[in-house]
Amino acid sequence: MKKNDTAVVKIEDIGINGEGIGKADGYTLFIKDTVMGDLVEVKVMKAKKNYGYAKLLRVIEPSKNRVEAKCLVAKQCGGCQIQEMDYQEQLQFKQKKVIGNLERIGGFAPEVLEKITQPVCGMDEPFHYRNKAQFPVGTDKDGKAVTGFYAGRTHQIIPNTDCALGVSQNQQILEEILSIMNENHIPAYNEQDCSGLVRHILIRYGFTTKEIMVCFVINGDNLPCADKFVDKLSQIEGMRSITFSKNKENTNVIMGKEIEVLWGDGYITDYIGNVKYQISPLSFYQVNPVQTEKLYKYALEYAGLTGEETVWDLYCGIGTISLFLAQKAKQVYGVEIVPQAIEDAKQNAELNDMKNAEFFVGKAEEILPAYYENYAKEHPGQQAHADVIVVDPPRKGCEEALLETMVKMQPDRIVYVSCDSATLARDLKYLCGEGYALEKVQVVDQFPNTVHTECVTLLQRSRGKK
């Protein structure tokens, strides 16, 4: 096969980025926008020695798992990768992806995994689930300000104010903002030459409290016509906070370092279960509240708390899991690298009148080993112990220095929450080589219509065995 060749292909597999995989004359092709089971006509765009990338020209026979995308720009927009895949099929795809990594990278036997893997936990309504959206702002060919999301792997904005994953309120907010920008000639930011002003619009919505915040990210010191924006936006039901954040750097980082309040509070409040959280524009907060509650319930169940336990929650963010656990534990220690998040965590503990949660700023792989060593110095002949350790690292997983200390602290249970099953598998392999056994694997779909997966696993210490 070579560039510009066309072929008819049956899609037989799905790649890790959601693209369909099929063969033409034994040559493997990766084809975006196709679904397992489709018979399609494609055109080769890029041909390598053993495989190539092709573009979908036409679906000859749709798969029984193909559904119509809900969003009009689903194909162009890089936000969703698998909106045309039936939701039940999406769930099976994610379950298979996690199990596949645990087998290949983790070295776990398929028959063991079969016994411990729980049915995947999906959503009843896999749309409009995100409580947060950061819309880039740009300029269209007529010079009008537009917002939307980037096309896959580029920074080209696909205009859309009605994202099917976000809350319905986003549309009205964005349209009010765009119309004020266009009427008053307030320019959107231009990444090419770092000119213009409005870079992003951040919107957050508390699903339980129905509170809304809007934050403008601007390449300047002030937001012109701030009173006009405030006038319109403050009338929207639930609006609690209108702020801006200066970001004058030439960077892909969205938010600036600080927040200035234009109207209302600098934060909104929301609940996960019974725990109340204060969320500022800069706080990390799980984006899918419905599934987060389920995820945390599994984490809590796996932690097996009776009220007597000492628990560490590593990579704790604003202390969401920590406070969930603190309801049932004797003492919880949270560790997080972002100082502002720890400030929020402390405030959230106070807000909920929880006195048994303590937080540390720093790298988990430095804080925990240092704590362990100091403890030994201060308590000769003893060693620091934890009953349960929970980790929820970013995609790169845990550093070995951290895993090593975790093992030394001999927790009865380790609950590993992961958004990347490849690094999860690597870390579980290490822990299972050091006396732990994998007891449960639960995939929870936090990101329907995208290829991202999240799962929570339970490891149990098998005493004496090493």
- Can you name the residues that pair with 276 across neighbouring β-strands? 271
427 labelled as ligand-binding?
no
Give the C-alpha separation, 320 to 314, whole Å.
Answer: 11
- Can you name the residues that pair with 401 across neighbouring β-strands? none
- The footprint of ligand SAH on this chain (CB under 6 A) covers a number of residues equal to 17
CA-based nearest residue to 447, from 100, 82, 201: 82
419 annotated active-site: yes
Buried b (16+ CB within 10 A) or exposed e, 164-191: bbbbebbeebbebbbebbeeeebbbbeb
Among 216, 298, 315, 360, binds ligand SAH (CB under 6 A): 315
340 labelled as ligand-binding?
no
The three-class DSSP label of residue 256 is coil
Q: Where are the beta strands (DSSP E) in 289-434?
A: 310-314, 331-336, 357-361, 388-391, 413-418
Residues numbered 354-413 forming contacts with ligand SAH, rule: CB under 6 A: 363-365, 392, 394
286 counts as binding ligand SAH under rule CB under 6 A: yes
Sort strands 157-159 and 145-150 into parallel, antiparallel or unpaired.
antiparallel
CB-CB contact of 324 with 296 (8 Å)? yes
320 counts as binding ligand SAH under rule CB under 6 A: yes
233 counts as binding ligand SAH under rule CB under 6 A: no
Q: Which amino acid is at 259?
A: I
Give the C-alpha separation, 108 to 98, whole Å.
Answer: 12
455 counts as binding ligand SAH under rule CB under 6 A: no
Q: How far is the CB of 343 from ligand SAH (least distance, A)?
A: 13
162 labelled as ligand-binding?
no
Which of 225, 419, 432, 455 is the catalytic position? 419
Q: How far is the CB of 344 from ligand SAH (least distance, A)?
A: 10
- Both tokens of 25, joined, read 């004359």
300 counts as binding ligand SAH under rule CB under 6 A: no
338 counts as binding ligand SAH under rule CB under 6 A: yes
Nearer to ligand SAH, 87 or 302 (CB): 302
Nearer to ligand SAH, 14 or 364 (CB): 364
77 counts as binding ligand SAH under rule CB under 6 A: no
Q: What does the DSSP assignment read for 155-221?
A: --EEE-S--TTS-THHHHHHHHHHHHHHHTTPPBPBTTTTBSSEEEEEEEE-TTT--EEEEEEESSS
63 counts as binding ligand SAH under rule CB under 6 A: no
Among 282, 321, 368, 424, binds ligand SAH (CB under 6 A): 321
336 labelled as ligand-binding?
yes
Q: How far is the CB of 60 from ligand SAH (least distance, A)?
A: 43
Q: Which amino acid is at 220?
A: G
Give the C-alpha separation, 87 to 23, whole Å.
Answer: 25
Q: How far is the CB of 155 from ligand SAH (least distance, A)?
A: 24
CB-CB contact of 170 with 178 (8 Å)? no
416 counts as binding ligand SAH under rule CB under 6 A: no
Q: How far is the CB of 394 from ligand SAH (least distance, A)?
A: 5
Applying CB under 6 A, which part among 192-200, 244-252, 270-278, 311-319 lies near ligand SAH? 311-319
Q: How far is the CB of 313 from ligand SAH (least distance, A)?
A: 7
150 counts as binding ligand SAH under rule CB under 6 A: no
CB-CB contact of 148 with 158 (8 Å)? yes
Binding residues for S-adenosyl-L-methionine: 286, 315, 336, 392
Binding residues: 286, 315, 336, 392
Which active-site residues does the annotation give?
Answer: 419
**Contacts with ligand SAH, residue ranges (CB under 6 A):** 284, 286, 315-317, 320-321, 335-338, 341, 363-365, 392, 394
